[in-house]
Amino acid sequence: MDCNEAAPRIALAALDALDGDEAVAIASHVATCARCAAELRSLRQTRGALAAATVAAAPPLDVDAVMAAGAERSVPPAAAPRRLALRRVAAAAAWLGVAALSGWLGGAARPAAGPQGEAVLSGPTAETLARGLLLLDDRLTALETSHPRDLQLLAQSIDRAQEQRDRGVTAQLESLALETGRELAAARRAVFTISQQLPAAWSAEFAATREQ
C-alpha cells in the first residue's frame, strides 16, 4: 500500500473502523511512512478530543407513563378492589372526622407512634389525607374512564399523520399521548402513596365492619 492508497483510509484507521485485512495493510504502511504516521496520530488526537463532549445524566424514565400511554397494551389497574375498600374508609374518615372514627373503632385504630413517641398522623392530618385521597381517587376514576377513549382517538390521529408523512404532527401527538400517560401514572402513584400513609388498622377494621 502506498500513500495514495492509504490516504482515504487513515481517518477510518483512526476510528478503528477498518476490516482486518485493511487494518493490517494500513498498519504496515504507517510503520514505514513518517508522514502518514503523523497524520494518523493527529487524527487520533482529534478523536480523543471527542471525549470532552460529555452528556449530562438524564432524569429517570417514567416507565409507568410510557406503558399507560401505549393504549392497546396498557396494563390493567392492579388494585381496583383494594381501592374501593380504601375509598370507603377515606370517605368515612373525611365525613366523620378522624376523632369520631378513632373513637368508633376503639383503641386498635389509634395511629401508630413515631420514633419520638408522637402520633404519626394527628387527627386533622389524617382527615386531610383522607379528603385528598378522595379527590385523587375521583380524578383517577375520571382518568381511567376517559383515558382509553383519549388514547384511541390519539392513536387514530397518529396513524393518519403517519400516513400523510407529517412527522411534526406525529411527534406532537405522541407527546400528547405520553402526557396523558404521565398524568394517569402519576394519579395511580399518588393514590397508592396516600393509601400507604393511612393507618393500616383503618382499612382492615373499617372494611371488616362494612362487610358485615
Question: Residues interacting with other proteins, by CB under 8 A?
Answer: 8-9, 11-12, 14-15, 17, 42-43, 45-47, 49-50, 52-56, 58-59, 61-63, 65-67, 69-70, 72-73, 75, 167-168, 170-171, 174-175, 177-178, 181
Taking the least distance from each CB to other proteins, the nearer of 43 and 96 is 43
In the complex, least distance from residue 11 CB atom to other proteins, rounded to whole angstroms: 4
As given in the structure block, the three cell numbers for residue 200 are 393500616
Taking the least distance from each CB to other proteins, the nearer of 45 and 193 is 45
In the complex, least distance from residue 161 CB atom to other proteins, rounded to whole angstroms: 11
Taking the least distance from each CB to other proteins, the nearer of 8 and 117 is 8
In the complex, least distance from residue 76 CB atom to other proteins, rounded to whole angstroms: 10
In the complex, least distance from residue 183 CB atom to other proteins, rounded to whole angstroms: 14
Residue with cell 482515504: 8
Taking the least distance from each CB to other proteins, the nearer of 42 and 122 is 42
